[in-house]
Amino acid sequence: MLTQEQNDTLCHIGPGTPMGNVMRRYWVPALLSWELAEPDCPPVTIKLLGEELVAFRQTDGHVGVVGARCAHRRAHLFWGRNEENGIRCVYHGWKFDCEGACVDMPSEPEESNFKDKVRILAYPTYEVGGVIWAYMGPPEKKPPAPLFDWAMMPAPNRAMSKVWQQCNWLQAFEGGVDSVHVNFLHGGRPPGQRYDESDARGRANNRSTAIQSEVMPTDYGFVYAAIRDLGDEGDHVRVYHWVMPWTQIRNLGDSPTISGHMWVPMDDENTMVYNWSTVPPGERAERAVRSGMGGRAMAEVDTDGNRPLWFRDAQMKVGAGNEFAVDVDAFNNFRSINNMDNQYSIDRAVQKTQTYTGIPGTNTQDRAVQESMGAIADRTLERLGTTDRQIINARRAFLKAIKTVEDGGDPPGVSDSYYRLRPTTGLVPKGGSWYEVLKAGLFRPEEEDELLVKTAT
């Protein structure tokens, strides 16, 4: 458990807070590229780390992320005119560029130089992997570009989505790095039902739904293994990465699909969860890849503003026989369709006979239990077990990173050491080292480097 002081320290992420200062040392996922589909398109309101911001794509294609309000009378720039390489407040016409400089002030006399003295908050941006990132920390500490392996995949081999989760970022993150919950919340069976014996994890679950959890610290966060006993076959081991502060890199069993999440705080009580999936070069680029949204999403994009097909079909509700439905309303600030108000569409009959929860959709199941903890979970009352090693180690790493930043140092994960990371799954002989057996699969092969650099968008 944590003390109340520790829990408050980790959960509060606004400007000037210890955890907020740590998070501002990284590139922060701000929005999806297709939300600003073309130059001079309508601006978008976003909230990051407790700050209200506006994003817009200039005429030259560069994206600005700036303070939401005009420096003059504090009118909101969402209503602004995005034109000629700047966003213009409609109240009095003051215009600001991506760097926050006031470049035009038509309400003042032409001979005035007042505009040269006026600025608004602005953050540097970087666009890669279908995501627009913002850096919100000290300029002299800006880290290398966020060139994750998944972000460098060709666009047809990559899918990205996001959903608004109504709780603190930490309980969302901790749910993601908790390996054993998948045996219950996601893949569990009603009492008396056996798991699929053709699947290695299913065979392991038929022996025991418990796992052995191991964590190996790294300079970017840690590698963690979920080990399931397969008796004479050996151990079934899944090895994932955590890249500080909010990125998980995982895979889906023997599938070539690699996926993961980024749990990005909007404020202390709301989180934007980014869900990405990739298939490696050489796989069928036109295949559907899992979106983590309670359904499936196509990797291809449509011709209307370069938006993914799941956005075009976002009105579709999750339902039986509709494998391309998604549990998100992209036209309502990415809020989930299945939510607390409709009890996440839980079906008690399905819960009794088919699945452990009766709730449709993997990430919807996550949101249901994580949001049920309250806006900010009270960790002074919890009791952690042996399979919570990832959570324990992550909390220690966060608290250590806070101290490091306060002392003027660099937290883990701000260098480029995470660029080549990939997850892996395999069988490990009894008594063998899972890291030694599987380590070749934990990094992108060098022969793929040139291809990815040429094809990534």
Domain ranges of the chain: 27-141, 150-380+413-455
pLDDT score recorded for residue 326:
63
Q: How confident is the model at residue 454 (pLDDT cuts 50, 70, 90)?
A: low
Tell me what the mean pLDDT of segment 304-333 comes to: 53
**Rounded Cα–Cα distance for residues 75 and 71 (Å):** 8
Least confident of 66-75, 142-151, 292-301: 292-301
Q: What angle do CA 278, 281, 286 make, to 5 degrees?
A: 65
Q: How confident is the model at residue 297 (pLDDT cuts 50, 70, 90)?
A: very low
Q: How confident is the model at residue 455 (pLDDT cuts 50, 70, 90)?
A: low
pLDDT digits (tens, 9 = 90+) for 148-199: 999 999 888 888 889 999 999 999 999 999 999 998 999 888 888 888 888 8
Q: Which residue has the tokens 């937290």?
A: 411
Buried b (16+ CB within 10 A) or exposed e, 118-151: bbbebbbbbbbbbbbbbbbbeeeeebeebbbbbb
Q: What angle do CA 297, 345, 333 make, to 5 degrees?
A: 55
pLDDT score recorded for residue 283:
63
Tell me what the mean pLDDT of segment 431-451 comes to: 89
- Greater pLDDT, 139 or 456: 139
Least confident of 37-46, 61-70, 202-211, 351-360: 202-211
Tell me what the mean pLDDT of segment 371-400 comes to: 97
- Greater pLDDT, 283 or 8: 8
Between the ranges 244-253, 294-303, 343-352, where is the mean pLDDT highest? 343-352
pLDDT score recorded for residue 354:
92
**Rounded Cα–Cα distance for residues 414 and 142 (Å):** 9
Q: How confident is the model at residue 206 (pLDDT cuts 50, 70, 90)?
A: confident
User: What SS3 state is found at 261?
Assistant: strand
Q: What percent of the chain has pLDDT over 90?
A: 73
Buried b (16+ CB within 10 A) or exposed e, 212-243: bbbbeebebbbbbbbbbbbeeebbbbbbbbbb
pLDDT score recorded for residue 287:
43
pTM of the model: 0.91
Question: Backbone phi, then psi, for 184, in 5-degree steps?
Answer: -120, -70
**Residues 11/380, Cβ–Cβ less than 8 Å:** no
Tell me what the mean pLDDT of segment 88-106 comes to: 98
Q: Residues near 353 by Cβ (< 8 Å), separated by ≥ 6?
A: 190
Residue 451 has pLDDT above 80, yes or no: no
Give residue 18's identity as a one-letter amino acid code: P
Give residue 368's identity as a one-letter amino acid code: A
Q: What is the mean pLDDT of the chain?
A: 88
CATH value of 27-141 in 2.102.10.10, 3.10.20.30, 3.40.640.10, 3.40.50.2020:
2.102.10.10
Q: What is the DSSP string of 275-336?
A: EEEE--TTS-TTSEEE-SSSSEEESSB-SSTT-BHHHHTTTPPP-TT-TT--S-BTTTTTB-
pLDDT digits (tens, 9 = 90+) for 389-425: 999 999 999 999 999 999 999 999 999 999 999 999 9
pLDDT score recorded for residue 282:
64
pLDDT digits (tens, 9 = 90+) for 124-134: 999 999 999 99
**Rounded Cα–Cα distance for residues 286 and 202 (Å):** 29
Q: What percent of the chain has pLDDT over 70?
A: 88
pLDDT score recorded for residue 202:
83
Residue 290 has pLDDT above 60, yes or no: no
pLDDT score recorded for residue 201:
78
